[in-house]
Every structure is written in structure tokens, then in C-alpha cells.
Amino acid sequence: MPVVDYERYCEMLDRARSGRFAYPAINVTSLTTANAVLKGLADSESDGIIQVSTGGAAFASGSAIKSMTLGAISIAEHVHRVADRYPINVALHTDHCQANKLKEFVLPLVEETERRRARGLPNLFNSHMFDGSALPLDENLDVAVQLLERFRKDDLILEIETGVVGGEEDGVSASSTAKLYTTPADTLEVARRMNAVRGARYLLAATFGNVHGVYKPGHVRLRPSILKDCQDAVAKAFGEVARFYLVFHGGSGSDLHDIHEALDYGVVKMNIDTDMQYAFTRAIADQCFKHYDGVLRVDGDVGNNKTYGPRTYLSLAENAMADRVKEAVGVLRATGTTMANLVGKH
């Protein structure tokens, strides 16, 4: 299917929340990793989200260029070109963008979408995240509301974050005193400010003890019930219609029970990066360790081009990552849920 448009993306999110499942939102940094996600989604008959971080985008543009805008555009254009060969729906999203990076990442990508729309082309990305979680809440929301007003005109969905996710991602790490748990009072303020932008859509990453990266058991103390408290508070204050579409950040290594509880409370998108990185590299390491005398030219020998040719080990990595995507889809209760099967049944 082609990359979804706004209406179809909204439909995806609505179906996930009412069906109590979530889409994996998987970080990619290259053609190969993007292809792995598409394959994994297709293999599990699930729709999903491909996302690009600032660091991943800079990498994708090439080490001599290091342009996050250019890299993000390149990956998105690739996905637009190949997505219709896969029998599932995919949305394109950009991951964490702090306020000081908006001018070099999200805003140029929004401008690119606006140029495309003026030429009658589909949006480049379907949604973008603004991460103002390091700012005081009122400043976070000032920027978010401004973005949301522009996004509404462009049929873009905005993702925001309140509270601070622990750990480190793309060189940004939370301090040990950071606020790891969002409060119902915070989210009431989010709803009050954001819902005033009528007809716009946003996703909320509300932290409940999440930590970026993977840590040994015991390090992460998730409290998904915080999400329920936030939803109940907002429904009571502003009506059922105000319930959030939640995003789960920093979920690598979480207990299945915690993940499922979070889905029950309205999580529709779960970011998955670290576990995918490991699945990809694990396959390459396996190939190199098992066939070291083919990958390397040992003792004056010539090695084996079938082994050291990048296509060989990158194909293995692509397939291993696709399998990991399939596993993630299963955990998120999304297997077999693709709307692509519903085409013509509307």
C-alpha cells in the first residue's frame, strides 16, 4: 500500500485505541533497515510506523554530509517509492526533536511537505515529534500549540512528551533527578491547551518510569497505572472525547504485563529502537564469527567474496530485524490487524 494519508493514519490510530493494540514505531537509519521494517510488518499482516531520529537522519545523509534534513528526506522518499509493494499500511514519523533542533530538523521537513502539497504530492512525513520534555510544562506547551496550529493546516499529526524519559538517546540523557512520572495535573494542562486547537490531532508520550535503552531487570520501574489515572482525569474534566492517544517511549526490555497494561490504557504507538539495533547487528556478528576465514583474508588467503560481500551479511541482518519486528507486532497485539485487508469492504 502507498504510505498512508492523514485520514488513513487517523483511522489506524482510532482502530488501535479501540482495539487495544499498538503499532510498533521503529527507528531506521538506512534503506536496509527501512526494508526490514516493511518486511516484518508484511510478514505479520500489521500496519506500522517507520521513524527517523535526528542522529539516524544525519547518518543516512552520509558521513561527509551529516544533514539531518537531507537524510530524513532520503529515507522517506525511499519508503514512498517501495511501500506500495507491501500489503500493509505504513506511516512515516520523525522521532525526538528538542526545541533547539526544530529549525534544522522538523521545520525544514514541514516546509518540504508544504512544497509537496503545493505540487499536489502527498506529505513527506505523516507526523513529527517535538520533545519539549526538558522544558517547564508551560513552555513545552507554548511551542507545541504553535506547531499544532501549523500542523493542522498541513494534515500532520504532532507527538509531544511530558515528564522525562530516563536513560540516553542520541546523546541526550536525563539527569537522575528528572521527573520520570507524569502527573494527571500535567496531562489536564496538556488537554486544556492542545484541545483548544480544534480539529488538530496529536499523540502524547506521557512518561510512567520509562527509560531509553535497555537495562537489566530491576532497573526500570514502570507504573502503567499512571496512564490510567491521567486518562480518567482528562475524561472526567473534558469528556470521553478528550482521552489521549498515548505513545510508549523507552519500552525496550519491559515486562509483557506492563506493556499490555499500557495498551489497555490507550497506548497506540510504541517506539522500538534498541532491540532492533541488536537484532540487526546480532545477525552480522553471527556471520562474521562463523565464517571469519571467509570474511577476513587470513594468513595471505583471499577470503570469500560470497561471505564478505555486504549484500550477504546485510540480507541476514535485514531478515533478522524483520523477524524482530514480527515479534514486536505480536507483543503489541497487532498481528493480523492490517487495514489493508479491509480495502473494498468500506
Least separation in angstroms between residue 226's CB and Zn ion is 15
Residue 249 binding Zn ion, by CB under 5 A: yes
Q: Is the dihedral of CA 10, 11, 15, 18 positive or negative?
A: positive
Specify the residue, 53 or 89, whose C-beta has the smaller distance to Zn ion: 53
Least separation in angstroms between residue 112's CB and Zn ion is 24
Give the residue from 279, 277, 278, 272 showing the smallest Cα distance to 320.
279
Specify the residue, 80 or 249, whose C-beta has the smaller distance to Zn ion: 249
Please give the radius of gyration of the chain, using alpha carbons only, rounded to the nearest integer: 20
Least separation in angstroms between residue 96's CB and Zn ion is 6
Q: What are the beta bridge partners of residue 204? A: 160, 246
Site for Zn ion in 133-192 (CB under 5 A): 165
**Calpha distance 10→17 (Å, rounded):** 11
- Tally Cβ neighbours within 10 Å of residue 253: 15
Stretch that binds Zn ion, among 36-44, 57-65, 249-257, 274-282 (CB under 5 A): 249-257
Specify the residue, 174 or 334, whose C-beta has the smaller distance to Zn ion: 174
Q: Which three cell numbers stand for residue 53?
A: 531520529
Give the residue from 284, 296, 270 showing the smallest Cα distance to 320.
284
User: Which of the 8 DSSP states describes residue 266?
Assistant: T
Least separation in angstroms between residue 10's CB and Zn ion is 22
Specify the residue, 3 or 22, whose C-beta has the smaller distance to Zn ion: 22
Least separation in angstroms between residue 52's CB and Zn ion is 15
Helical (H) or strand (E) element with 78 = helix 68-82
**Calpha distance 248→229 (Å, rounded):** 16
Specify the residue, 3 or 272, whose C-beta has the smaller distance to Zn ion: 272
| # of chain residues touching Zn ion (CB under 5 A) | 2
Residue type, 3: V
Residue type, 25: A
Least separation in angstroms between residue 249's CB and Zn ion is 4
Q: Which three cell numbers stand for residue 29?
A: 537509519
SS3 157: strand
Strand pairing class (246-248; 157-162): unpaired
User: Which of the 8 DSSP states describes residue 165?
Assistant: -
Catalytic machinery residues:
95
Site for Zn ion in 281-340 (CB under 5 A): none
Residue 93 binding Zn ion, by CB under 5 A: no
- 175-206: buried (b, 16+ CB within 10 Å) or exposed (e) per residue? eeeeebbbbbebbbbbbebbbebeebbbbbbb
Least separation in angstroms between residue 39's CB and Zn ion is 26
**Calpha distance 310→62 (Å, rounded):** 17
Residue whose Cβ sits closest to Zn ion: 249
Specify the residue, 265 or 313, whose C-beta has the smaller distance to Zn ion: 265
**Calpha distance 336→333 (Å, rounded):** 9
Specify the residue, 201 or 249, whose C-beta has the smaller distance to Zn ion: 249
Binding site residues, Zn ion, CB under 5 A: 165, 249
